[in-house]
Amino acid sequence: MKKWLIGFLGFLWLAGGAFAGRITLLGAGATFPYPLYSKWFHVYYQKTGVRVNYQSIGSGGGIRQILARTVDFGATDAPMSDEELAKAPAKILHLPMAIGAVVIAYNLPGVPSGLRLTPEVLADIFLGKIRKWNDPRIVKLNPDLKLPALPIMVIHRSDGSGTTFNFTYYLSRVSPEWRRRVGYGKAVRWPTGIGGKGNEGVTGYLKQFPGAIGYIELAYAHQNRLAVAALRNRAGKFVLPTLESVSAAARTRIPPDTRTLIVDTDAPDGYPLSAMTWILVYQEQAYGGRSFERARALVELLWWCVHEAQNYNESLLYARLPENVVRINERLLRSITYKGKPVLPPGKK
């Protein structure tokens, strides 16, 4: 009898492990963190057997999917607005995952990284008011560079995008004309240029066309060896996007719900187009026939993402979460419930 019981318990343990290995969590959204998430989810599968199927469809798509409850988590680089949250069937939590940089990348033969641009000049390029690379305003900022007489080809996103939200929000802060004519959002009516889908699409156009300029995530620029601009920040310094300058921009107060933007930082050494990226989940996980095991697998994944997974950030050019944000994430993850009861065990560390 005792042997039978031990054997039966062993079978249950093995069956439980096999079941966990069969779980595939579904996520969709931001392309901004896709290089990082690809690494994270591959490592996590090797460690646990839990698969994560993440579709890089843009922040707008991620928000639509989580609202429709067709995924376990959404991903966005723009926090959901009050209006968007009001459409949700239940409370949605914002969990910051990493901090990255929206970089101004360009394709100018013979011109390496470090082209200096002020906020005003950058806005006028994307407004279509500055049309040539040897425009006097750009030449004045870069007297040591030989700028070609190439037409400027503006590349922007064609899909709903948190990267676009951060970039246009920044332009709205630094340019009254941009704020009046275009405004900001995950999608806007662009005054000029051509659109590419996702960070991948914009990167492809930038590589293809000499004279092109666009905004992409730092990892995409680095992986594709694209030159990036040094932007003048509020302190008057021209700053390149680096892990140090991105981390400096993030040293600010984060509200309890984490819905804030860190662009146009006043940090003296901060890069002015730094951005957080979030994963979106429902606080109550018992919906749509979901099992407790699936809810536990999701929350365990997210706990790992904000702790051990942060060790992979810097090699992929994302800044680690500061300790204050990790503590906020821990509180939010402990608040996730299944049928009203916490999903994480009380002593989880």
pLDDT for res 308:
98
Tally Cβ neighbours within 10 Å of residue 154: 22
Which residues, including other chains, have CB under 8 Å from residue 92's CB and lie 6 or more apart? 66, 80, 85, 280, 281, 282, 283
Instruction: Read off the pLDDT of residues 130-144 as tens digits, 9 standing for 90 and up.
Output: 999 999 999 999 999
CA distance 179 to 182: 6
Where does CATH 3.40.190.10 sit in the chain? Answer: 23-100+275-342, 101-274
What confidence score (pLDDT) does residue 5 get?
42
Rounded to whole angstroms, how far apart are CA atoms 230 and 239?
Answer: 5
Say how far apart CA 304 and CA 344 lie, in whole Å. 12
pTM: 0.84
Q: What is the block-wise mean pLDDT of the chain (349 residues), using blocks of 10 residues? A: 42 40 91 94 97 95 96 96 96 96 96 97 98 98 96 95 94 98 96 95 97 95 96 96 91 90 92 96 95 97 98 94 94 97 85
pLDDT at 222: 93
Is the CB of residue 61 less than 8 Å from the CB of residue 76?
A: no
- Amino acid 346: pLDDT: 79
d(CA 290, CA 272): 41
pLDDT at residue 15, rounded to an integer? 38
What pLDDT is recorded for position 8?
Answer: 40
Which top CATH class is 23-100+275-342? alpha beta
Residues 101-274, CATH architecture: 3-Layer(aba) Sandwich (3.40)
* pLDDT score at 21: 55
Residue pointed to by tokens 């999701």: 298
